[in-house]
Amino acid sequence: MGEKLLVKNIGLLQTPVGSECHCGAQQGENQKLKNAAVLCEDGKITAVTADGALPAGSEGAAVYDAGGRLVTPGLVDAHTHLVFGGWRQGEIPLKLRGATYLDILRAGGGILDTVRHTRAASEDELFEKSRAFLDEMLTLGVTTCEIKSGYGLDLETELKQLRVIRRLNDEHPVDIAATYLGAHAIPDEYKGRADEYVDFVCQTVIPRVAEEKLASFCDVFCEDSVFDVAQSRRVLEAGKKHGLRPKIHADEIEEIGGAGLSGEVGAVSAEHLIATGERGMEAMRRGGVIACLLPQTSFYLGKTFAPARRMIELGIPVALASDFNPGSCPSFNLQLSINLGLLRYQMLPEEILTAVTVNAACACGRGNLCGTLEAGKQADLVVWDAPDWEMVCYRFGSNQTKAVVKNGRVTER
């Protein structure tokens, strides 16, 4: 007989429903069950019950008593750059003297500094460092995440990063969606030759990444003085030709047309969108693109916040993620994105829950596997040390989980 777990005495079970991303009014629809229980078998949810009823077949299951607390689906962090060498606290004095994120990058620092450290690190070093991040993210409630490459830029290091991501997925309980982000910056060896670097990405690296099945998605940093719209389009089209689904870092700092491009190429998601205007949003709506918003990056870079309310009003599905990376967001605490979603995007608590569960799962191509608490989905649950989801959105700065269940296994804090 397989492994069975009964999570019982759930005061409130709150979850979106379904496997598709939710937009407009639907973004704010959550199912709320009182006095609920969830039965998990072999890592999957087999039954959810309410009003004190216990699922048939619970006999013989290990029991976790939630003590009347709130339970939600495991959180999904749909945008991270979690595998990297070094850190960048050395940028602090430059920032205090007024240098912007792009000033530092143009001067050969920023992402390029992390590239130097990532090239120098061994695969094992990168693996151990990243594994420790994932351990902590799991205790913070994250049961699935996306990880991008993009700190190698040369063939060898990009493949090294992607292999680390594959190994993390194989060995760590957190499930990982891998994204190839070779077009993250123009490496020193291609300085002043951005188009040639794009050729290299399209002709040499993408085919190899696809052949080795190292990524499901292809992303590009479409930004002023990084990759323009034409170059970004080339990268995403080349990825598509090799079966990599497009994602795009769009309008993080300047609005140069990335959101519009996301609609044209049929991107799964456009990410950041701090500077996106009406035209970009209209293209996203038409193209069915998920807006993956990263409020901790706005906070850390001292920028404005993406127009989340307008996006919901227009019917664009919104996901919230961390953007964990050593430059623009040195935090992997997705609970802080939840707090900022409330405070700075003015999203409703129910909309936020959808944004960090099913919509984020769809942005990772996994809406059918996780993101809601329903029979047939992975048994990924968070037991919160809170009576309701409003409390999780409202308190900030400390880890509010009580226990995290990943594939039917409990990690108690």
The footprint of ligand NIG (CB under 6 A) covers 81, 110-111, 114, 221, 249, 252, 297, 323, 325-328
Q: Which of 323, 350, 351, 380 lies at the binding interface for Fe ion (CB under 5 A)?
A: 323
Min separation Cβ 81 and ligand NIG, Å: 5
**Binding status of residue 223 toward Fe ion by CB under 5 A:** no
Q: Which two tokens stand for residue 262?
A: 């996301």
Cβ(254)–Cβ(226) below 8 Å: no
Q: State how far the Cα of 194 lies from the Cα of 67, in Å rounded to an integer.
A: 57
The item of ligand NIG, Fe ion, none sharing an interface with residue 252, based on CB under 5 to 8 Å by kind, is: ligand NIG
- What H or E segment, with its residue span, contains residue 145? strand 142-148
Q: Which residues, at least 6 apart from 262, have a Cβ–Cβ distance to it below 8 Å?
A: 246, 248, 250, 269, 270, 283, 284, 287, 289
Helix (H, G, I), strand (E, B) or coil at 37: strand
Quote the least distance from Cβ 315 to ligand NIG, whole Å. 25
Q: Are 207 and 184 in contact (CB under 8 A)?
A: no
Q: Which is nearer to Fe ion, 291 or 405 (CB)?
A: 291
Spatial neighbors of 166 by CB under 8 A, at least 6 apart, are 178, 214
Q: Which residue is nearest to Fe ion (CB)?
A: 323
Quick one: DSSP state of residue 30? -
Residues 6+ apart with CB under 8 A from 52: 35
Residue 88: CB minimum distance to ligand NIG, A:
7
Shortest distance, CB of residue 125 to ligand NIG, whole angstroms? 18
Q: Looking at beta carbons only, is 221 or 345 nearer to ligand NIG?
A: 221
Considering only 65-73, 322-330, 368-376, 398-406, which stretch makes contact with Fe ion by CB under 5 A? 322-330
Minimum CB separation from Fe ion for residue 41, in Å?
A: 37
The site partner of 297 among ligand NIG, Fe ion, none (C-beta below 5 to 8 Å per kind) is ligand NIG
Read off the DSSP letter of residue 218.
E
Query: With CB cut-offs between 5 and 8 Å by kind, which of ligand NIG, Fe ion, none does residue 37 bind?
Result: none
By a kind-dependent CB cut-off of 5 to 8 A, residue 130 interacts, out of Fe ion, ligand NIG, none, with none
Would you say 249 or 406 has its CB closer to ligand NIG?
A: 249
In the complex, minimum distance from the CB of residue 147 to Fe ion, in angstroms, rounded to a whole number = 11
Q: How far is CA 371 from CA 77, 108, 382, in A?
A: 11, 39, 11
Per the DSSP assignment, residues forming a β-bridge with 177 are 146
Q: What CA–CA distance (Å, rounded) separates 359 from 310? A: 17
- Closest residue by beta carbon to ligand NIG: 327
Q: Cβ 106 to ligand NIG, closest distance in Å? A: 13
* Nearest-5° Cα angle at 332, 262 to 235: 25
CB of 66 to ligand NIG, least distance (A): 36
| Partner interacting with residue 327 (select from ligand NIG, Fe ion, none; CB below 5-8 Å by kind) | ligand NIG
Among 117-125, 129-137, 317-325, 372-380, the segment contacting Fe ion (CB under 5 A): 317-325
Among Fe ion, ligand NIG, none, residue 75 binds (CB under 5-8 Å by kind): none
Is 69:397 a contact under the CB 8 Å cutoff?
no
State the residues that interact with Fe ion by CB under 5 A: 323
